[in-house]
Amino acid sequence: MPPRVIVVGGGIAGLATAHHLLEQRPDLDVLIIDAGERPGGKIRGAEVGGVTVDVGAESVVASSRVARELITDVGLADRLVHPEPVPATIWSRGARHHVPARSYLGIPSGETDLGGLLTDGEVARAAGPAPFALDGDVSVADAVASVYGRAVVDRVVEPLLGGVYAGRVDALSLRATMPGLWSAMDEGRSMPDAVAALLPEPVTPPRPRVMGLAGGLSTLTDALAAAITAAGGIILPQTIARGLDRTSTGWRVVTGPTIDPVTHDADAVVLATPAAPTSRLLADHAPAASRALAGIEYASMAVVTLALPSAQLPTLPGSGFLVPAVDGHTIKAATFSAAKWAWVRDASSEVTLLRASIGRAGEVASLQRSDEELRAVALDEVGQALGTRLPQPVEAHVQRWGGGLPQYDLGHTGRVATTRADVTGLPGLELVGAAYDGVGIAAVLDGAARTASTISSTFPPSTPTRQEQR
């Protein structure tokens, strides 16, 4: 019998891990157990106004070699696209301002122009950075405000980080969210010097920071699922892993109802699930890891996609805008999909697609509204930002992501280190996903590739068949 690997979780982390396993070791028996109706997790496409677009994650960091190779592996290299060269803005104090250039996740360098976005007094405070001694983990807000003033936190850094984590800058860990900056400061550099060292040299034309796929990122998860099944892997949808047991030869995953359990034995198991279910599955085997994972909070959010009649719509300025939480608006960002992605624009001459994101960590009230209310507030606030009343959409779609984004709050790196150390003592068990080393797709794909290599190396080389020997 070939070695069997069970991957619990069918999001991008689980799918990529399974794909790499089957590419490296075609002799493996790979089973994905997924609680969702369809594989893909937080990557999903939906048809809105006759165009299928992403209603979850829509891009990957362009510098990710692992992502590019994976896209090529599943035959999607010809779909690889970059955003149009149109700028984003920040909607602050009732006006839209360009996102400050030459900054590191909003933290200014000596070349950053904050004029307009900040008041003259706030610009003057930021231009005279104060010394700050890094002493262990610290929140992003405390560190940046100490150096540049609170306005830089509220009006620049928070909108940018909010788009990545949907988090609270007063709780997010500098060490976990900006490890490069934290390391440079931990070595003794001031924050301004650390920012300057991390910024790449400017090039003309600027290199794209992100990339996507024509047809949406959901084409990647669809292609991964198809490649896995074509290679002999099995995806078991709408199945919750309720238990994890040790056996004499490996592991046993328990699914099904309590009164009628179903068992799945494996030589190795990969847990590609969010922190809470992973914590429950590890409780009897790695209690320290279980407790650490239970301390990772998640933020819920919603993506509202609007298909507006093109004939009644003014030209959309730029690729979208970010919204500081301090201004009290419901939406945290808007993306003008038809302006950002040429393939979205070219898909329809009748409708123009845009989307708004709603929900930050700790916010409950905004997401307790009905879908109709979320559609209405998104349409109204995007119109406010553009200074015009937008026409009623031809169609709208609301995608809710309950517990969608792990929060890298203070102590996160310690929780991850504790988890990794505790699980090291469990041979044949690996963890992968957004809860550990980065919430972006590129970071998750890096983890999936490493996890697959680790699992593959634990099994002896396969014995070729007689036909293969010939």
Domain ranges of the chain: 4-40+65-70+218-296+408-457, 103-198
Judge contact between 434 and 405, C-beta under 8 A.
yes
- Where is 89: in which H helix or E strand? strand 88-92
342 φ/ψ angles, rounded to the nearest 5 degrees: -60, -35
Q: Which CATH number fits domain 4-40+65-70+218-296+408-457: 3.50.50.60, 3.10.580.10, 3.90.550.10, 3.30.460.10?
A: 3.50.50.60
Fold agreement between 4-40+65-70+218-296+408-457 and 103-198: no
| Strand positions, DSSP E, 169-292 | 210-213, 234-236, 243-246, 251-255, 262-266, 268-271
Q: How do 4-8 and 268-271 pair as beta strands? A: parallel
Q: Mind listing the pLDDT tens digit for each residue in 142-178?
A: 999 999 999 999 999 999 998 889 889 999 999 999 9
For the stretch 326-364, what's the b/e string if a residue is b when 16 or more beta carbons lie within 10 angstroms of its beta carbon?
Answer: eeebbbbbbbbbbbbbebbbebbeebbbbbbbbbbbebe
Residue 114, classed as helix, strand or coil, is: coil
Query: Per residue in 220-240, is it b (16+ CB within 10 Å) or e — as a string?
Result: bbbbbbebbeeeebebbeebe
Residue 223 CA to its chain's centroid (Å):
19
Q: Pull the structure tokens for residue 424.
A: 């090291």
Cα(23)–Cα(70) distance, integer angstroms: 11
User: 401: which strand partners?
Assistant: 301
CA distance 69 to 58: 18
Are the CB atoms for 263 and 424 separated by under 8 Å?
A: no
Q: Phi and psi (nearest 5°) for 103?
A: -130, 160
Question: Can you give the pLDDT of all 470 residues of the chain as single tens digits?
Answer: 899 999 999 999 999 999 999 999 999 999 999 999 999 999 999 999 999 999 999 999 999 999 999 999 999 999 999 999 999 999 999 999 999 999 999 999 989 999 999 999 999 999 999 999 998 899 999 999 999 999 999 999 999 998 889 889 999 999 999 999 999 999 999 999 999 999 998 888 888 999 999 999 999 999 999 999 999 999 999 999 999 999 999 999 999 998 999 999 999 999 999 999 999 999 999 999 999 999 999 999 999 999 999 999 999 999 999 999 999 999 999 999 999 999 999 999 999 999 999 999 888 889 999 999 999 999 999 999 999 999 999 999 999 999 989 999 999 999 999 999 999 999 999 999 999 999 999 999 999 999 999 999 999 887 554 344 44
Residues 252-270: tens digit of each pLDDT: 999 999 899 999 999 999 9
Query: Do residues 185 and 318 lie in contact, with contact meaning Cβ atoms separated by under 8 Å?
Result: no
Q: In a 10 Å sphere around its CB, with 0-12 CB exposed, 13-18 middle and 19+ buried, how is residue 380 labelled?
A: middle
Give the Cα separation of 54 and 42 in Å (integer): 10
Neighbouring residues of 457: CB distance < 8 A, sequence distance ≥ 6: none
Three-class secondary structure of residue 439 per DSSP = coil
Closest to 441 measured CA to CA, from 118, 15, 93, 120: 15
Amino acid at 428: G
Q: How far apart are CA 26 and CA 60, in angstroms?
A: 28
- The residues with which 4 forms a beta bridge, in sequence order, are 29
Strands of the sheet with 429-431, listed across from one edge? 234-236, 29-33, 4-8, 268-271, 429-431
Which phi and psi angles does 109 have, rounded to 5°? Answer: -105, 180
Q: Model's pTM, two decimal places?
A: 0.95
Q: Please, which contacts does 438-442 make with residues 24 or more away whose CB atoms are closer than 8 Å?
A: 439/164, 439/165, 439/405, 439/406, 439/408, 440/60, 440/61, 440/164, 441/12, 441/43, 441/57, 441/59, 441/60, 441/61, 441/64, 441/67, 441/217, 442/60, 442/61, 442/63, 442/64, 442/66, 442/67
Q: Is the four-CA dihedral 415, 418, 421, 427 of positive or negative sign?
A: negative
404 and 383 Cβ atoms separated by less than 8 Å: no
What are residue 81's DSSP bridge partners? Answer: 212
What is the bridge-based pairing of β-strands 251-255 and 243-246? antiparallel
DSSP 410-431: TTHHHHHHHHHHHHTTSTTEEE
CATH of 103-198, one of 1.10.3110.10, 3.20.20.140, 3.30.420.40, 3.30.70.260: 1.10.3110.10
- Could you give the dihedral angle defined by the CA atoms of residues 181, 187, 192 and 195, in that order, rounded to the nearest 10 degrees? -30
Q: What is the dihedral of CA 270, 274, 275, 281, to 10 degrees?
A: -50
For 184-198, the DSSP string reads HHHTT--HHHHHHHH
